[in-house]
Amino acid sequence: MDAQVQRACGGFDHAGTFETSLLWAFYPENVDIQRAKWNTEWFAKPAVDASPELGEKMAKLCVDYLERTIV
């Protein structure tokens, strides 16, 4: 993910807020946010802060970046 997109969304992580938000936007049936736990042992922001809206924003910004870069 482009650094500009990461800054606009507040960062990126593995299995935390941002990755879970992307998954939730693309595959909402696969996210049970009630199972998310507050993470104190990992560098990532906790998945409890994830939202499909954030995932949609991230996806749109990524597509916008790719359109600018590829075209």
The model's pLDDT over 25-69, given as tens digits with 9 standing for 90+, comes to: 999 999 999 988 776 666 667 788 899 999 999 999 999 999 999
Write down the pLDDT at residue 9.
84
Q: Please state the domain count of the chain.
A: 1
DSSP state of 10: T
Task: Read off the pTM.
Answer: 0.80
Write down the pLDDT at residue 42.
64
Write down the pLDDT at residue 44.
67
Q: Which domain covers residue 40, as residue numbers?
A: 3-70
Rounded to whole angstroms, how far apart are CA atoms 43 and 29? 26
Q: Would the pLDDT of 21 be above 90?
A: yes
Rounded to whole angstroms, how far apart are CA atoms 18 and 55? 7
Do residues 46 and 38 make contact, with C-beta atoms less than 8 angstroms apart?
yes
